[in-house]
Amino acid sequence: MTTINTIEEWNTIFRNEVVADGDYFLGSNIDFMEQPNVPRFIGYFNGGGFTLSFSSNHEGFMKLEGGMVENVNVVNNGGILLEGALFKTSGLSLIEKPCIVCNCKFVGNLEQDFTGGLFGDIGNEYESLRILKCSLVGDILADNCGAIASKIQTNINIVDFTLVGHILGNNNGGLIGANSKGDILLERCKHLGNVIGDNCGGFVGEKFRGDIQITNCSTEGEIWGKNSSGILGKQANGTIYILKCSSIILLKGENTTGMVGCYANGKIIAEEAIISGNIDSNDSSGLIGNNLKGEITIINCKYKGIINATNSQGFIGSHCSESGKIQVIDCKSEADILGNNSSGMLGNECAIRKGVF
């Protein structure tokens, strides 16, 4: 066991690009006034609830290539984050060792494009990556960012992640940025804050490619950005499974949705989703966006709120006639319809092939 208490000890124990495979413990808070050494980490690191802070240009504290990192707080103390606050991109072509990040927290805003709260960019090198009980407290002010990573290209499990902050930049994902791919499991994650930027997703950004399962997740806030959504951004390609999720929302931006964005091209299954809040923007919907092209099944879902906009719906948006099949089973809408051409359930040009309200 090696305990680290000072900048000097960190830079002596860890060397740039040198493998660190031992057990390391943080014994006190450390404020780095310049970029520290960044090891290739494959061991065990326990932050003990202490804080690593930075006040200069910063590219992360280590490259995660295996092992476990837990109980670390990272704070931006006036520095400029250039990649990931905790981890720098590995650059390896393959990481076979399982990687676990647990109970880590970043406090600070994302102010540079293509940055992340934990990682900068996660490529396809990871065979097994799990993010557990982590959080970011701060706003996403730049473009193409995410609280976990600006982009991922691999399979990942994310459990109990909390984002407390607003998304103001464009093309962002609250947890994972735009143009990501892989199979994702999101479980018991929360976003408390508004989505102001265009083409954003409260959890995952636009143009995601892969299968995604979202279970027991929740979002609470206002969505103002055009083509933005509370959970998954627009133009997703793959199977989307939403189970027991909730959104407390106010939709204010054009073509916005409470959970799944518009132009999705894969199968969508939503069970026991609860959406509550008002829809004040045109061409918007509480659960799933418009212009969908895959099969859609929603079971035992609920919407409650006021729809005071044109061509907006409580559950599924309009122009979904290209979907192979739409099933709506045992769903309930308590919508007060004040806008024109709007409905509590489905939009126009959405043919229900099978199923009942």
Report the amino acid identity of residue 59: E
Q: Report domain extents, the chain.
A: 2-238
Per-residue model confidence as pLDDT tens digits over 98-107: 999 999 999 9
- Helix, strand, or coil (residue 57): strand
pLDDT of residue 86: 96
pLDDT of residue 17: 92
Question: CA-CA distance, 337 to 339, in Å (whole number)?
Answer: 6
pLDDT of residue 321: 55
Per-residue model confidence as pLDDT tens digits over 298-308: 999 999 999 98
Neighbours of 352 (CB within 10 A): 17
pLDDT of residue 90: 83
pLDDT of residue 349: 59
H-helix or E-strand containing 45?
Answer: strand 44-46
Instruction: For residue 145, give Cα distances in angstroms to 174, 181, 235, 296.
Output: 8, 15, 17, 29
Question: CA-CA distance, 80 to 258, in Å (whole number)?
Answer: 33
List CB contacts of 134: < 8 A, sequence separation 6 or more.
101, 102, 103, 104, 105, 118, 148, 160, 161, 162
Domain 2-238: assigned CATH number? 2.160.20.110
- Helix, strand, or coil (residue 226): coil
Sign of the torsion angle spanned by Cα atoms 60, 61, 65, 69 = negative
Question: CA-CA distance, 212 to 214, in Å (whole number)?
Answer: 6
Report whether pLDDT(235) > 90: no
Report whether pLDDT(355) > 70: no
- Cβ–Cβ under 8 Å, residues 197 and 233: no
- DSSP letter for each residue of 126-169: BSSEEEES-EEES-B-SSS-BSSBS-B-S-EEEES-EEES-B-S
Report the amino acid identity of residue 325: K
CA atoms within 13 A on the CB side of 70: 12
Pairing of strands 73-76, 246-251: unpaired
Per-residue model confidence as pLDDT tens digits over 208-233: 899 999 999 999 999 998 889 999 98
pLDDT of residue 262: 84
Task: Quickly state the pLDDT bin for 322 (edges 50, 70, 90).
Answer: low
Q: Is the pTM here over 0.75, yes or no?
A: yes
Give the least confident one: 39-43, 263-267, 289-293.
Answer: 289-293
Question: What tokens were used for 231?
Answer: 């959970």
Per-residue model confidence as pLDDT tens digits over 174-184: 999 888 988 99
Question: CA-CA distance, 256 to 261, in Å (whole number)?
Answer: 7
- Cβ–Cβ under 8 Å, residues 66 and 99: yes
- Cβ–Cβ under 8 Å, residues 247 and 275: yes
Instruction: Summarize the confidence of residues 281-293 as an average pLDDT.
Output: 86
Quote the percentage of the chain above a pLDDT of 90: 66
